[in-house]
Structure 1
Amino acid sequence: MTSLLENARRIVVKVGSALVTNEGRGVDIRAIERWAHQIAELRAMGREVVLVSSGAIAEGMKRLGWTTRPSRVCELQAAAAVGQMGLVQAYEEHFAAHGIGTAQILLTHANLADREQYLNARMTLIELLSLGIVPVINENDTVVTEEIKVGDNDTLGALVTNLVEADVLVILTDQRGLYTADPRSNPDAEFVSEAAAGDPKLEKMAGGAASQLSKGGMITKILAAKRAARSGAGTIIASGREEDVLVRLAKGESIGTHLKPASSVLHARKQWIADHLRSAGRLVLDPGAVRALRESHTSLLPVGVKAVEGDFVRGEMVVCVDEEGREVARGLVSYASDDARRICRAHTEDISRILGACDAPEMIHRDNLVVL
C-alpha cells in the first residue's frame, strides 16, 4: 500500500495539543520548529498546505500560571485568548525562517453554517494558498458558545478539508493510528493500516479521549474522516512522533491508518449542507418518504412528514429521521416550524388552502437535501 499523500496537491494537516505543547506546559518551540520544517519541505515538493493546530489553551494556561485545565467557559476563553498570541508567534517565527509567510484564521461553526461567510472563508483561504501563504487555523475559542462551537480540531480539520477541497486530511496524534481495540488495555488489539472512510465498524473500534488536555479521541478522528470523504478527500491518522512523518508520507511511505473515501462525492453546496453540525429541528418521516428519498432521490413532500420537532424558520437546516429516530437526510426547510406542522401529511394541492398561499410544493427541495 502506498501513501494517500503521495499524489496529493492540497493537504490539510491537523496537529493535536500533545504534539505542539510540553505536556500542557505551554508551546513546545522545538516541536513547532519541526512542523514548520516538514511543511516547508512539502511546499518545496509543490504541495499546498493548510495547518489546523491545537495548543492555544495549553499555552494560555502556562502564561496564566494554571496547572489544571479550567472548566468555566470564561476561563477557557481567557486562556485561549492569551495562548493564541504565543502559538501564532511561534508558527510565524519558524515558518519565516524558511521564507514562508503565515496567516491566522479563527473560525466558529456559525461562520461555516452561514453560506455567505462560508464562501468568503473559502475564497480567503484559496487566495492565501495561491500567494504561497500557510494558513494556521484554530477554533475561535474566545467568542465561541455551545451553540456555535465546532467542538474539536479533528472535526474542524474535516470542515476545512471540505471548505478548500483538499485531497487529503492528515490527522497527527500521539498514537500510531487506529486499532481494532484500545492497545493500551487490550493486548490482542490489531493495527488497522487501511480501511474505507465511513465504515460503521470503525466507529465501534474507536475509544474515548486520550488525555485531559485533549477534547478529542480516536472517535472524533473516525468521524472527521467520514466527513472529509464527502468531498472525496482521504484521511491519514498517524503518529506525530514519527520522525519526518509528513515528508515520508508525501514520498509514498505508508505510515499510520489510511482511510480511503467513497467513490461518490457530494456537490459543493450539498457538502456545505451536510457539514452543518447542528440542526434547528427534526422532521419525522413515514416509511414511504424514507424509501422515496433513498431510492428515487426525490424532494421531500409534506405528505410524507409525520411530525415536526423544534422551532425553526424557513431556510434553516433540519434533520430528517425515520420512525425509529435514525437520521435519513438533512436539508434546508422550505417552511417555518409553525407552518410545517400545519401542512404535515397534506398533499401539495392542499397547501394553499391550509396556509392561504403555497410558497413551495416541497417541504425540502431535492437541491437543498442531502441523503445520508
Structure 2
Amino acid sequence: MGTVVIKLGSSIVCDDAGQPRRDVLEHVCDEAAALHGGGRDVVIVTSGAIARGMGVMGLGMRPRVIDELQAASAVGQGQLYRVYDELLQERGVATAQVLLTFFDISARTHYLNARQTLQKLLDWRVVPVINENDTTTTDEISFGDNDFLAAQVAILLGAELLVLLTSTDGLYTADPRLDPTAELVPLVEDFEALAALDIRQTTTALGSGGMRSKVVAAEMATAAGIPAVVANGRTLGAIAAAAAGEQVGTRFPARAERYSSFKLWLKYAKPARGRIAVDAGAARALRDGGTSLLPVGIVGVRGRFDAGDAVDVLHDGDPVGKGISNYSAVELRRVRGMKSAEAREVLPRASEEAIHRDYFVLA
C-alpha cells in the first residue's frame, strides 16, 4: 500500500465568512480514515488558515500586506488544525500538525529532514496535517494555495497518488463560471496541449490559488511518476474514487519519462540566484547530449551568486535549464569562454565543469 496525499483548497475548507465547512471536512475525513484503515498512508495538505483567521477577525477581504497575512494565519492556524484533529480522532486516526515554509522545501538539508520526519509519522500510522507556516515566512505567501507544497510533499514521500480538491469538478476547457459552453477535461496526458485552454490563476476573497497552480502541481507530480487527480472536494466519494482509479474529475497519469526527486527539487523548489548565457553549441549539448556545462560555452553572467547556488541557463534569452553552479558569479566572469585548462590557470582549484550534468535539469 502506498501514500495518498490529499490537498484541500481554502474555498472548500472555509465558507465565505471564514467558517469551517464542517460537512465537507467530515466527509473528507471519513474517506481519509477509510483509506487509512485499509492500509494506505494518508497525508493531508490543507489551506484555509488565513481564511479561518479572517473569519475570526471579521475581515471581509483577504489581506494584501504580508504582516496582515501572517497575523490572520496565526489567528486561524490552531483553530483549523483542531477541526481536523477532532474529526480524525473521532474516526480512530491519530494526527500531527506539520508547518513548512518555502525554505524547508528549497534548502536541500531541510528538504531531507522534512522527508525523514514525515516518513517517521507515517511509520507510526499518524496522519500529518500540513500547512504552510505563514506566520514566519519571509517571502510573499505564494505556495499557490498550497498546490505546490502538496506536490512537493507527494514527491519527497514517493506517494502513489496526489488528489487536489477544489470547488469545481476538475479542469475545464474554459472557466465554467464565465463560459457556459466550457467542458470538463477528464484526462490530461499532454501538458503542452493545455496551452490552448483558458486556465487562469485566480484569486478569491479567501484563497490565493487557481486552476493553473493545480495544473503545475500535477505536472510536477506526474514527472516524478505520481498520478494526480483534480476533483471537487464537495462531492461525496471523490477521494475514494480517485484512489480506486475510477473516473472522477480530471486525471493526470504518471509520465513515462521521470526525473529524480533531486532534479524535481532543483527544477521547481530551489530558487535561481542568477543567470548564465551560453552559446549555441553549449545549448545544443545540454539539450540533446546531456553533457555538463563547461566555462568555454558561457558568454554572459548576470546576478550575484555563490558556488552551490542555482542559476538559470539561457541561450538567446530562451531558457535551457537550471543547474547548481560550481563557481561564484565573480569567478565565472573571470573564466567564461575559456577552455578548462585555461580556466584552471586563472583559478587553480576550479572545477572542470561550470555545472555538472548530474546537477542540471532542462527547462
TM-score under structure 1 length normalisation: 0.93
Q: How far did residue 244 of structure 1 move? A: 2.0
User: Which structure 1 residue ranges, 5 or more long, are not aligned?
Assistant: 1-7
**Contact 2:107/2:270, CA 8 A, preserved across alignment:** no
Aligned-partner SS, 2:188: strand
> Is the CA contact (8 Å cut-off) linking 1:60 and 1:80 kept in structure 2?
yes
- 1:345 alignment counterpart: 337
SS of corresponding position for 1:196: coil
Q: Secondary structure at the match of 1:178?
A: coil
Change (3 A) 1:349 1:294: same
Among 265, 276, 300, the residue aligned to 1:307 = 300
Q: CA deviation at 1:56?
A: 0.4
How far residue 102 of structure 1 moved from its aligned partner, in angstroms, is 0.7
Equivalent of residue 235 in structure 2, options 242, 250, 265:
242
- State the shift of 1:166 in Å: 0.8
Change (3 A) 1:148 1:177: closer
Q: Which residue of 2 aligns with 1:251?
A: 244
Judging changes above 3 Å, is the alpha-carbon distance between structure 1 residues 35 and 115 closer, same or farther for their aligned structure 2 residues? same
More deviation in 274-283 or 122-131? 274-283
- Residue of structure 1 aligned with 2:185, choices 169, 182, 192: 192
1:87-112 Cα distance to aligned partner (Å, 9 max, x none): 11111111100111111111111111
Give yes or no for the alignment of 1:48 onto 2:52. no
Q: CA 1:109–1:148 in 2, change beyond 3 Å: closer, same or farther?
A: farther
The residue that corresponds to 1:260 in the other structure is 253
1:77-129 deviations in Å (ceiling 9; x for gaps): 01101100101111111110011111111111111111111111001111111
CA shift for structure 1 position 188: 3.0
Give the corresponding residue for 2:118: 125
Match of 1:207 among 191, 200, 208: 200
Residue 323 of structure 2 aligns with an amino acid whose one-letter code is G
Match of 2:327 in 1: 335
How far apart in 2 are the matches of 1:175 and 1:30? 17
Return the alpha-carbon distance in structure 2 between the equivalents of residues 181 and 242 of structure 1. Answer: 21
Paired amino acid for 1:23: D
Stretches of structure 2 lacking an aligned partner (at least 5 in a row): none
CA deviation map 1:115-164 (0-9, x unaligned): 11111100111111111111111111101122785343111111111111
In structure 1, give the amino acid aligned to 2:326: S
The CA distance in 2 between the partners of 1:250 and 1:68, in whole Å, is: 35
User: Which residue is equivalent to 1:94?
Assistant: 87
CA distance in 1, matches of 2:141, 2:282: 31
Specify the code of the residue in structure 1 equivalent to 2:354: M
Count of aligned positions: 362
Q: In structure 2, how many angstroms separate the alpha carbons of the residues matched to 1:79 and 1:10?
A: 31
Q: Distance in 2 between matches of 1:131 and 1:227?
A: 28
1:24 deviates by: 4.0
For structure 1, which segment, 250-259 or 132-141, has the greater mean C-alpha deviation from structure 2 after superposition?
Answer: 250-259
Q: 1:108, 1:148 within 8 Å by CA — same for their partners in 2?
A: no
Q: Percent identity?
A: 40
Pairwise CA distance, 1:204: 4.2
Q: CA RMSD in A?
A: 1.7
